[in-house]
Each structure stands twice: as C-alpha cells, then as structure tokens.
Structure 1
Amino acid sequence: MNRLLTTVVGTFVESWQELRVHRGRVVLSLVGVTIAVASLAVVVGFGSLAERVTAAYSEQYGGRAATWTFSGTSPASSGTGTGTGPAAVADAAALDRELRAGAERYRVRYVTEATYLQRDVQFPDGVASVSGTTVDPAYAEMHRVRLGAGEWFTEADRDRLAPAIVVNQAFLDRIGNPDISTHPTVRLPGSPAVTAVVIGSVVTSEYDTDPTMFQLANSVATANATASPDLGTQRAFEVWVPEADGKAVAKRMASDAERALGPGWTVEPSRSDAGGSVGGDPLGALRWVIAGTAVLVLVLGGLGLLNVSLVSVRQRIREIGIRRGVGATAGRIFVAVLLENVLGTLVAGGIGVMVGAAVLGNDTVRGLITDGVEIGGAPFPVEAALVGVGSAVLVGALAGFLPALVAVRVKVIDAIRY
C-alpha cells in the first residue's frame, strides 16, 4: 500500500516538476485551452441564464409548472368566459365558487382568479381605460410577480373599505410618480364609484409603457366597482399543482364542479404554463443549440492542445529515452506524460472559468442577457463552472493519451540516436 501511494504521489510530483521546467512550452500550449474553456464557460453560462430568463417570462404569463386554467359553459349562456349580461355574471360566480370548493377539498394550496378586464381610472389628466387583472394573493407566487415598491395583496385586504390595488410603473407615472409609502389614491368610476389605495408597484419590462393594475378578487373593489357585465369580461380560475398528479387533480375538480352546478354544464381544465403549450421540453431546442456550440468550442481547443503535445513529445525523445534507461517503466512514462496534460489543462480550466465568471458577472453583460428579469441563483451559474473545469480535465486526458502512447514507444537507443 505504501509503495503504491509513493508511486502515485511521485508521479504527480514528477509531472508537476516537468510542467515547471517546461513552463514556456506549457504556457504556449495551454493558451488555446484557456481561451476555449473561457468561451465554453461563457456559452454554458449564457445558455443557463437565457434558459432561466425564458422560464421566468413563461411563468410570468402562463404560470409555473403545472398551472391549470378552468373554463366553463353553462346551459343559460354560450360560456362564462365570453357571455354577457347578469346571467353570465351569475354563472361565472357560481363556477368560481365551486372551483374554490374543489381546490379546498383536494388541498390545493395555490389558487387564484385571473380575470382580465378594462377599468376606467380617473387620472389627473382625465379618465382613461386601464387594463386590469382580478387576482388572489397566490397569483404573485404562481406568476413570479416581482415588486418594485410597496407590498402585494394579503387576505386582510379583501375587507378594506378603500380597495387596494397594485399597479405598474407606467400607472404611477400617470398619477405623478408618488411614493408608495404615502398611500396614494385614485378614483375608480363605477356604480358606485370608489377611491382605491395603491399599495404596491410591480416591476415590468421597460417596453411596458401602458398603465396596468391588479385588484383583489372577492373584495370591495370587485363587489362595488366592477366593470359592466355587458363588456363580456373574461373570468378565469387557476390552480398551481405538482406536474406529476396535476392533470388528475384538475380533472377531478372539473368533474366535481359539473356535478355541483347541474345538468348542461361543461367545465374544461387546460394547462396554461409552457409545459402545456409546447410538446415535450419547452426549452429543449435551446439546450441543443447550447450543447452543440459548447462541443464545437471544446473540440477546437482539444485539437490545438493535441498538436502541441505531439510536437512536444517528439522534441523530448532524448529525455524520455534516458529516463527509460535509468529504470522508468512504460506505465510510469505513460502516466507522467498524461498527467502533464491533465494538470496543465486543470490550471488552464480554472483560469478560463474565472475569465468566464468575470464576463458573465459584469452587471452590464448580465443586464443585457436577463433584460432586468429577476431570475435568482448565483451570479455565475455553478453548472458553467463545473462544465468548464470538467471539460478542461477531459480535454487534457484525451489530448495527452496519444502523446503518452508515443512516449511509451520511445526506446533507449532512440535517445542515443537523437
């Protein structure tokens, strides 16, 4: 055991000493590897960030995996989502009530109304129609809503006499960009008209220049200042459930609602997140493009190192032949030459990863990739660092294998003739 350990440690020390002696050659041969690994780390890191940004955008609009949206058709109207008049409003309320009961029955934690509508708002420069969404508190978690200031809805906000609303920055700008902590108010015309309190603002894209707002479902805001039923407002109900059994839970909730509402009702669940609208892996194409680019960069770096290593071994024939003459075994020579490449590429890989981390960690570069979207996680993806170092070691092993075979074939007589 001691002899084996001594041999292994000695081989490593010997390889490291060779790297120090031939550091000029090593530096030149590993410049390409360093550049290749840095490029690989940047490509993988960029892909990881882009994937997370794509997922974040998808979850903002469609919900997290797996989000199911329910729509219903009643015998009294063409559908609760598109019907008009008091009958359609009553049908929508009945469907909402039964779906909430079903969610409670099956212990679904995240449920929300998601009703998209137009609301009249009294701005300082006049009344304007604003796009709004009626939601429950769980909507923020289900759709990755990010607050820039203030706070999101809580259950206690349902009973506020002055209804709470959450708006975007364009809405705030329209009312003079007040400080949220001062509890700014806006007038919502209706029957009767109410004064709403702005409790928070959400972070949106810089291209989102139209005022938008969120109001809380089943609250004073929706009871006393709702849009006219003649507008055909689309009312929706969403649940966020685990992907594994989400389909079964959604179908049970729909079936229970149909039975409770009576004959003639049809309730259909549909998956609204990216996993339901795209067959297979919604980010699969992006991953394949990233993988192909990474492999190409890796192959180019490996070929350059292989060429330099072969030339280096041929220039060291005399040295290798002398070592064979003083008792070095073929295995010892093979491992030593192989480790020279592996240790060198390991150092090059570490430097390359640091360069890649510096590039992607730059606030300007990261901002261009994420477009201001909050994606969480480390500034430099861990998988990019692991792939970079692991690829460097693999390249060193593959590029050192052939030169090591050449070194093993060197004989003592070759050293004399050289």
Structure 2
Amino acid sequence: MNGVFSTVVGTFVESWQELRVHRGRVVLSLVGVTIAVASLAVVVGFGSLAEKATEAFNEQYGGRPATFQLTASTKSGDALPDEDAVFDQLRAGAARYDVSYASEAAEGPRKVQFPDGVGDVWTKTVDPGYAEMHRVRMADGSWFTESDRDRLAPAIIVNRAFLDRLGDPDLVTHPTVRLPGTPAVTAVVVGEYKTSEYDTEPGMFQLARTTAAAGTVVDPEMGGSRTFEVWIPASGGKQLAKRIASDTERTLGGGVEVTASRMDAGATVDGDPLGPLRCVIAAVSVLVLVLGGLGLLNVSLVSVRQRIREIGIRRGVGASAGRIFVAVLLENVLGTAVAGGIGVMLGAAVLSNETVRTAITSGADIGGAPFPLEAAFVGIGAAVFVGALAGLLPALVAVRVKVIDAIRY
C-alpha cells in the first residue's frame, strides 16, 4: 500500500515539476483552453439564466405546471345572474378535492386617487394562493393572508411605479390610498411586489371577497376578465379540473356551463418546453470544447516530440512505461484544471455583471446565486476531460520512446 501511495504522489510531483520547468510552453498551450472554458462557462451560464428567466415568465403569466383555468358562462350567452355564487361554488369544489392552491383571478383597470389626481391602475383581484401559483415575489412588506379579509381598511399590494406616484412612502408608515367606486374605500398598502425594470406603469393586487374587491367592475370591453385557477399535479390534473367544473355545473343548474383549460406553458408545448433551448446550448458547448481540445492536442504532441531526449533518459534510469504514461497525461490534466479554474472565474465575472445579467433575464426575478453553480461544475469538468483526452495521444507517444532515441537526439 505504501509503495502504491508513494508512486501516485511521486507521479503527481513529477507532473507538477514538469509544469513548472516548462511553464512558458504550458502557459501558451493553456491560453486557448482558458478561453474555451471561459466561453463554455458563459454559454452554460447563459443557458441556465435564460432557462430560469423563461420559466419565471411562463409561471408568472401562465402559472406553475399544471395550472388550470375554470371559466363560467351561460349557455344562452347572457351574463351570469350571480357571478359571486359561481365563484363560491368553484372555491367549494377546489376545497372538496383538497386542492392546496386555488385562486380567483380577476383583472381590469380601476380608478385610484393619487396625490396628482385620479388615475387608472391595472388591478388583479386574487386569493392568497395566487402568489405561489404565479411566482409573485415581494420586494418589501408581505403578501396577503386569510386574516386580511377581515380588515376594516382593505389591504393592497402594489408595484414600484405605484409607490413612486404615491410619493414613495415607507411601508412601515402604513400608507393609505383612496379607491373610488361603489362603495369607495380607503385601502392600506401592505407590500410591494417585484417587477421587471421595464414595468413602468402602476399596478396593484387586491384581495378577493373584501370591500376593496366589491367596488371592482370587470369590463370585458376594457380588457378585464374573471376566472378561477387551480394548481394541481400534471398527472391526472385534466380529469380533476373537469370534475370540479362538472360539480359546479351540477350545483348551479343547467343554465351555467363551466369549462376547464390548462393555461401554463405545458399546455402549448409538447414535452419539455425548454428542450430546444437546451439542445442549442449543448451544441454550442460541444463546439467550444472540441476547438479547445484540438488546440491543446496539437501543442502537446509537438511538446512530447521536443522532449524525446528527456523521456528517453528517464526510461534509461529506470522509469516504467506506466509511470511515463501517467506523468505525461497528468501534465495535461493538471494544467487544464488550473486553466479551467481561471476560465470559470472569468465566466463568473462576466455573468455576475448586473448589466449582463439583466440583459439575459430581461429583469425577471429568478433568485439563486449570481453565477449558476452548474456552469462552474461543467467548466471545471470539461477542462479536466479535455486535458485527459488531449494528453492521451501524447502519453502513448511518450511510452513508445526508447533509450536509443535519446542518443539520436
């Protein structure tokens, strides 16, 4: 065991000493690998960030997989006689089947009294479960809870543009705003939700079944809509959504029709919606890796041929073929590992830049580390893999060197 350990340690030491002795050649040969690994890390990191941003936008607007939308209408085409009763039955149906996340989703413009006058604000009326269903993230304050329905002054959650027009008050002061309507109410701002930097128009959420929601009139001609959403498992979700819809129809009578349709990204894309993006990223990564490996292979072959005298002398003083093979191979692996580390750091510096990150994600809140961890693993792993492949052929050439070759050179 001690002999094996000594051999392994000695081989590593020899390889490292060779790297130090030939550091000029090594640096030149590894510049290409460093650039290739940096490019690979950037490409993989870009793909990871773009994938997360795409997923965030899909879930923000369509819901998490699988989110189903339940819409009620009359078979005659007339307006629903009692829309609130329909939604009460939809909520009861979701509770009957133990659906953990369900929410009304009504949206449309609403009048808000700002210090500079009354303005229209695009408003979403939701239940507390909506935030988890649509990846709503808070910048300050807190999201709705069931206890907020009992507030005398209803709670609202607004975006940065809303707060700026309100005069940028501190939420700890419990700022209020007047909501004209029937009835008119004074609402309390309890939170600020995160939005893209491109979202420059005021927007707000209000809680369903409160005095604030009572003053909201959904006008389809103004782009408003009112639906009910449930977030349920993709497997068997379609049948469950239809069951909730049919139960509601049966309870309300034959004049009401309830339809269920899937609204998240999985409804419009067969299989993996991000599959094409992954394929493109993989193709570019392989191309970068191959180019870096070919450059290193050429330099390594030239280097071994220039060191034939040195290798022949080592064979003459007792170095085994296996030791020569491993030493030459490890020279490439150790060198590319160092180059890979430097390349990953360069890639991290690029992707951690706030301007670059914002450009890739379009301002979406994706969370996580500034530099994707998988990009670091792929970069280091690719560098070691390329070093092993590029060192394999030179190592085989070195093994075939004979003592007589040292005399000829």
Query: Which of the five TM-score ranges fits, normalised by the shorter chain?
Result: over 0.9
The range that moved more, 14-23 or 211-220, is 14-23
Distance in 2, Cα, partners of 1:359 & 1:185? 43
**Would you say the 8 A contact 1:149–1:202 is kept in 2?**
yes
The range that moved more, 402-411 or 389-398, is 402-411
Aligned pairs for 1:220-299 (under 5 A) are 220-223=211-214, 225-227=215-217, 233-299=224-290
**Aligned match of 1:153:** 144
**Aligned match of 2:55:** 55
* Partner deviation per Cα, 1:377-406 (whole Å, 9 max, x = no partner): 122111011000100011001111111121
Offset, 1:113: 0.7
> TM-score, with normalisation over the residues of structure 2?
0.92
Offset, 1:89: 5.2
Aligned pairs for 1:118-133 (under 5 A) are 118-133=109-124
Offset, 1:29: 1.1
Distance in 1, Cα, partners of 2:81 & 2:164? 33
Q: Between Structure 1 and Structure 2, how many residues are aligned?
A: 408
Offset, 1:269: 1.9
Secondary structure in 2 matching 1:236: strand
**Aligned match of 1:352:** 343
The range that moved more, 57-66 or 245-254, is 245-254
**Aligned match of 1:318:** 309
1:374 to 353, 365, 378: 365
Offset, 1:305: 0.5
> TM-score, with normalisation over the residues of structure 1?
0.90
Offset, 1:310: 0.4
**Aligned match of 2:105:** 114
Offset, 1:308: 0.5
Counterpart residue identity of residue 25, structure 1? R
Distance in 1, Cα, partners of 2:218 & 2:35? 63
The range that moved more, 324-333 or 43-52, is 324-333
Offset, 1:37: 0.9
Distance in 2, Cα, partners of 1:264 & 1:402? 78
Offset, 1:238: 0.9
Offset, 1:342: 0.9
**Aligned match of 2:30:** 30
Secondary structure in 2 matching 1:322: helix
**Would you say the 8 A contact 1:67–1:272 is kept in 2?**
yes
2:134 to 123, 129, 143: 143
* Partner deviation per Cα, 1:347-406 (whole Å, 9 max, x = no partner): 111121122222222334333333433211122111011000100011001111111121
Distance in 2, Cα, partners of 1:262 & 1:340? 79
Change (3 A) 1:154 1:49: same
**Would you say the 8 A contact 1:89–1:229 is kept in 2?**
no
Counterpart residue identity of residue 314, structure 2? R
Distance in 1, Cα, partners of 2:170 & 2:396? 72
**Aligned match of 2:209:** 218
The range that moved more, 301-310 or 65-74, is 65-74
**Aligned match of 1:8:** 8
**Aligned match of 1:306:** 297
Distance in 2, Cα, partners of 1:52 & 1:24? 41
**Would you say the 8 A contact 2:15–2:328 is kept in 1?**
yes
Aligned pairs for 1:317-336 (under 5 A) are 317-336=308-327
Offset, 1:229: 7.0
Counterpart residue identity of residue 192, structure 1? P
Distance in 2, Cα, partners of 1:11 & 1:178? 67
Counterpart residue identity of residue 69, structure 2? T
Change (3 A) 1:245 1:37: same
Counterpart residue identity of residue 392, structure 1? A
**Aligned match of 2:175:** 184
Secondary structure in 2 matching 1:116: strand
The answer to whether 1:165 aligns with 2:170 is no
Offset, 1:230: 8.7
**Would you say the 8 A contact 2:108–2:219 is kept in 1?**
no
Distance in 2, Cα, partners of 1:383 & 1:206? 27
* Partner deviation per Cα, 1:115-174 (whole Å, 9 max, x = no partner): 112222233444333221110111122212222333322211112222222222222333
Q: Which consecutive unaligned segments of at least 5 residues does structure 1 have? A: none
**Aligned match of 2:92:** 101
Offset, 1:231: 6.3
Report the aligned-residue RMSD: 2.2
Change (3 A) 1:392 1:111: same
Offset, 1:252: 2.7
The range that moved more, 170-179 or 234-243, is 170-179
**Aligned match of 2:44:** 44
Offset, 1:217: 0.5
Offset, 1:48: 1.0
**Would you say the 8 A contact 1:159–1:220 is kept in 2?**
no
Counterpart residue identity of residue 6, structure 1? S
* Partner deviation per Cα, 1:18-45 (whole Å, 9 max, x = no partner): 2222222111111111111112112111
Change (3 A) 1:400 1:89: farther
